Amino acid sequence: AAKGAGRNRYSYFTPALQVEALTRMRLTNDLRNAVKGGQLELYFQPIVHLKTGRIHKAEALIRWRHPTRGLVSPMDFIPLAESSGLIFDIGMWVFSESARWVQRWRSEHHPDFQISVNQSPLEFQRDDGSYLEWQRQMQDLTLSGQALVVEITEGMLLDANTTVSNKLLQLRDAGIQVALDDFGTGYSSLSYLKKFDIDYLKIDRSFTRNLAPDSSDMALSDAIIVMAHKLGLRVIAEGVETEQQRALLAEAGCDYGQGYLFSRPIPAQEFDAMLRAQQV
């Protein structure tokens, strides 16, 4: 080993950082095995039509059942999936599972049912032909693109290049709808709303949380709903936890609600049972 420069170079890495890096490496390795070894699970959370109280859609949310760590939150492992490139396989798995389930629900009792899947910036901003693979799978299932919604965030449209425009066009061609997730957080530019063809705005739960009559979050939610409707978009409120929030959103004309008041995200089989119960 070299002295001098070499030793100086190593001195950047404190033991704490080494441990952190090691943990990250181990977890990334575990994630690689998880994808192959069936440790990923897909949960669904209902999206409820506020006027009728019926479940019209669901959001697919991924879970990782780690053999020793238990259930790992996507907040913790999606970043690892991105930095390791595993996100592409994971995204394809989420799509395939979602397509299979929604095909079943649409053919059984809910012909208009939709599943929304999340796309991370890395997935959405890379032109890797994954939507062609989606279309191939949809053809195999004889599944209409209308069955699916892709959730992206505002930031992904802000630095829009031709790849992003192309991907949006590919979705449009396939009949797949687009939702803007976590709407209202972070960005003040709204010009992309007229530039791109968006179908749903999902009001971020930071607005829903403090909803009260005459509150500033009520004013903001009202304004978002009015604006969205004038632009021909539907609105989904995230994080609906209380009856008061539901009532205020319904009164404001919000189309759909999602949150613990209706249900937490639940395993696919349980969601299947919930939908069946609604049938009766």
Per-residue CA distances from 206 to 88, 180, 184, 269 (Å) = 29, 15, 9, 30
Lookup result for tokens 């957080």? 185
83 touches ligand C2E by CB under 6 A: no
Say whether residue 97 binds ligand C2E (CB under 6 A).
no
**158: which 2 tokens?**
């802000």
CA distance 244 to 109: 31
Residue closer to ligand C2E (CB basis): 45 or 103 = 45
First to last CA, the chain: 73
Residue closer to Mg ion, measured from CB, 60 or 275: 60
The amino acid occupying position 47 is I
Query: For residues 26 and 1, what is the distance between their CA atoms, to the nearest angstrom?
Result: 26
Instruction: Pick the closer one to ligand C2E by CB: 86 or 94.
Output: 94
d(CA 82, CA 118): 13
Q: Does 74 bind ligand C2E (CB under 6 A)?
A: yes
Here the tokens at position 144 are: 């209409």
Indicate the residue among 72 and 184 with the shorter CB distance to Mg ion: 184
Report the residue from 30, 97, 123, 181 that binds Mg ion according to the rule CB under 5 A.
181
Q: What distance lies between CA 107 and its chain's CA centroid? A: 24
Site string for ligand C2E, 219-238 (x = CB under 6 A): --------------------
Q: Where in 7-46 is the site for ligand C2E (CB under 6 A)?
A: 45
Q: How far is the CB of 115 from ligand C2E (least distance, A)?
A: 11
Residues that bind ligand C2E (CB under 6 A): 45, 61-62, 73-75, 78, 94, 118-120, 151, 181-182, 205, 239-241, 258-260, 265
**What is the binding site for Mg ion (CB under 5 A)?**
118, 151, 181-182, 204, 238
